[in-house]
Amino acid sequence: MKRLKEGDERAFQELVTTYQNRIFSLTLRFMGNREEAEDLAQEVFLTVFRAIGSYRGEGRFYTWLYRIASNTCKNRLKYLKGRQHHRSIDIEDSPQAQLPSEEGGARQSLQSQIPGPEAVVRGNRLQRAIQEEIAQLDAEHRLLIVLRDIQGLSYHDIIRITGLAEGTLKSRLHRARLALKKRMDRHMR
């Protein structure tokens, strides 16, 4: 952290490579658009680079980083909605998503967990549907789903990131899951 605050580029590179997958995953699942997600993830690290001097070392570093990432995502979404420009592409259909992990694509697919060709087709279809439907939720709901259900962060960390009280987090998370379930119902039948 000391090296980072002194502007050491190598230290910054280490930070980026340590967290880039998690931040990219967050922005991708949040936005549902690979190009937008990559640009957004870059912006997150640019903000970190500029603001690292103001990081006081309270709490875990990655909750500070995630707070920046969450705010960046929400602000971008607001901006895009303002411009009525938001479009979501089917990220799992994009060529990069189909590449092996070394090439920056999918690492572990849902289809690998479901045996049989019919189940594979259904698994693929549901994956696409989930991503599409997550990207249709409102910003707060999709953030909670991504942080808790996709990234697997603990309640404690999500509270530090979002500033919500524990009870509020649990009830909002429940509403977010219900909203997603409602949207997913037509795909699950």
Partner 1 sequence: MVTPSESNAAELMSAALDEQLAPEEEEAFAAMLAASPEAREEFEQLQDMLKLVKGLPEVEAPPDFFEKVAKKIRRRKLMRGETFLLVSLPFQVLSVMIVLAIAVTYMMLQLERDPASKLVRDAATPSDGVSEPAGDEDAPDKPRDETVTRPPAE
Residue 153 as a binder of partner 1 (CB under 8 A): the answer is no
Of 53-61, 70-78, 79-87, 99-107, the window that binds partner 1 (rule: CB under 8 A) is 99-107
3-state SS assignment for residue 186 = helix
Separation between Cα atoms, residue 113 and residue 93, nearest integer Å = 19
**Among positions 11, 80, 120, 126, the unique one binding partner 1 when judged by CB under 8 A:** 126
**Of the candidates 63, 59, 65, 58, the residue with the CA atom closest to the CA atom of residue 43:** 65
Task: Write out the two tokens for 96.
Answer: 């990069």
Residue 6 as a binder of partner 1 (CB under 8 A): the answer is no
Residue 148 as a binder of partner 1 (CB under 8 A): the answer is yes
**Of the candidates 185, 18, 21, 44, the residue with the CA atom closest to the CA atom of residue 108:** 21
3-state SS assignment for residue 9 = helix
**Among positions 11, 90, 107, 121, the unique one binding partner 1 when judged by CB under 8 A:** 107
Residue 110 as a binder of partner 1 (CB under 8 A): the answer is yes
Residue type, 75: N
CB of 73 to partner 1, least distance (A): 15
How many CA atoms does the CB half-sphere of 93 hold within 13 Å? 12
Nearer to partner 1, 80 or 150 (CB): 150
The total of other beta-carbon atoms located within 10 Å of residue 72's CB is 20
Residue 18 as a binder of partner 1 (CB under 8 A): the answer is no
The total of other beta-carbon atoms located within 10 Å of residue 71's CB is 15
Q: Which residues bind partner 1 (CB under 8 A)?
A: 9, 13, 16-17, 20-21, 23-25, 28-29, 38, 41-42, 45-46, 49, 92, 96-97, 101, 103-110, 113, 123, 126-127, 130-131, 134, 145, 148-150, 152, 155, 167, 170-171, 173-175, 177-178, 180-181, 184, 188
